[in-house]
Every structure is written in C-alpha cells, then in structure tokens.
C-alpha cells in the first residue's frame, strides 16, 4: 500500500489497529501526533523565509502563519543588510525601546506578535528566517507541505498508533509505541543534523564586528 496521501495513511492505520470502533478517531490520532511532532522537531525542512514591510510608528506586527520560532532577522532594504538582535520582552521593556523611533535594531516575540525596537521611523523591509510547524496532513495540498509524510511515512504510522493505545488505555502497549515513536524522532533529528553540516567540517572563526 502506498503511503503518500491522507486517505492512504488513515487506511494503513486502520489496518494496523484492526479496530472498526476506532476508525472515526484516526483523524484525531493523526492531529495529536502532528502536535507532538511540532513540539519535538526543528529541522531544515521546517525552516522558511518571509519578508514584511514596516510602517512608521508601528511597533507590533503579525507573525507568519504556522510560526514556531525565529532563527534570524535582518533589514534587507538597506546596504549593508543589518541583522536584528533578539531581546527578551522584559529586556525590551527595561530599555523603554518603545519610547523612541528610528531604524530597528532589536526584536522580540510578545503576545504572539513581532515587536521591534526602536519603533520604525519609516518603511523598512525585514527578512525573517523562521521555523514553521508541520502542515496538517488533513489540509496539505502539495508535496513540499507533506515533506514529513513523504520522507518519513513510518512516523505517521507509529505516532497515531501510540495515541490510539493511550486512548483505549492499553497501558502495556503504550510504552512500546512511545519508544518506537521517540526513536523515529531521534533518527529524523540525526538526519537533519547531518544535512545541515554535510557541506564540510565545522571551523572556528574569530568574532568580528560589522562597521
């Protein structure tokens, strides 16, 4: 059986469970597995780039859909491009960054929004590299959105089966499926690490300051 679509995965899980009374619950098991995966994984396949334009006087901006964490941010509309420093919301409040306007030099994530400091004094284009959660298989409609299924179909079997064991309170089987699921997650992490560093050996570089 092929494992490339939402329906095919549901059919495979149903065959593994062999429990007609649980068939209607399979979409829930898949959703729960995807939520757990989003809390555990950060891989290159989850990294995306987006841009936004600031508005003079606006301090807060909407985050991209599916945002799970920022890797880096810079102003791309000036030369040379300038990276923005991450600050905690508490640190940004302490320096009273919102009381002045200028070219942003720092950012934070606050109230599920992007906050800039200083408050932009004009239009700037910001380039964000960020982590995006796994697209729910129930709504994914392209191969790039289904990367987890296409590259790791076993995670879509073992994960939902683990959630099914929890649901039916079959305690003696939960540990087995949990262990298998965790092992698959660690294998994906290891593969992601090899992919990120496959260009060559890491070398130490001296710190420097861009003028």
61 inside domain: yes
The label of the residue with tokens 């003696």 reads 172
Residue 92 forms part of a structural domain: yes
78 sits in the region (left: phi over 0; alpha: psi -120 to 50; else beta) called beta
Name which of 92-106, 130-144, 195-209 the model is least confident about: 195-209
Residue 82 lies in a domain: yes
Per the structure block, which two tokens stand in for 32?
């729960």
pTM of the model: 0.81
Domain that holds residue 107: 50-132
Contacts of 104 (CB under 8 A, 6+ apart): 54, 75, 84, 116, 117, 118, 119, 120, 124, 126
Residue-wise pLDDT tens digits, 43-86:
999 999 999 999 999 999 999 999 999 999 999 999 999 999 99
Question: Residues 13-37: what's their mean pLDDT?
Answer: 95
Condensed to tens digits (0 to 9), the pLDDT of residues 70-129 reads 999 999 999 999 999 999 999 988 876 556 899 999 999 999 999 999 999 999 999 999
**Domain tally, the chain:** 1
Token reading at 28: 């829930």
Q: Answer whether residue 69 is part of any domain.
A: yes
In a domain, 83, yes or no: yes
């Amino acid at each position: 059986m092929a494992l490339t679509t939402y329906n095919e995965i549901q059919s495979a899980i149903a065959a593994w469970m062999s429990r007609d009374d649980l068939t209607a619950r399979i979409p829930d098991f898949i959703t729960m597995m995807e939520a757990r995966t989003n809390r555990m994984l950060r891989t290159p396949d989850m990294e995306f780039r987006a841009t936004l334009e600031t508005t003079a006087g606006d301090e807060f901006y909407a985050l991209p859909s599916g945002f799970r964490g920022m890797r880096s941010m810079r102003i791309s509309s000036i030369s040379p491009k300038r990276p923005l420093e991450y600050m905690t919301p508490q640190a940004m409040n302490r320096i009273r960054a919102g009381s002045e306007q200028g070219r942003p030099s720092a950012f934070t994530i606050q109230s599920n929004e992007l906050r800039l400091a200083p408050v932009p004094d004009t239009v700037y284009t910001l380039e964000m590299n960020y982590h995006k959660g796994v697209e729910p298989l129930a709504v994914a409609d392209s191969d790039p959105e289904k990367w987890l299924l296409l590259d790791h179909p076993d995670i879509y079997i073992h994960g939902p089966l683990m959630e099914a064991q929890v649901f039916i309170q079959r305690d003696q089987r939960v540990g087995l499926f949990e262990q298998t699921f965790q092992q698959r997650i660690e294998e994906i992490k290891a593969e992601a690490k090899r992919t990120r560093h496959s260009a060559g050996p890491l070398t130490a570089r001296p710190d420097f300051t861009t003028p």
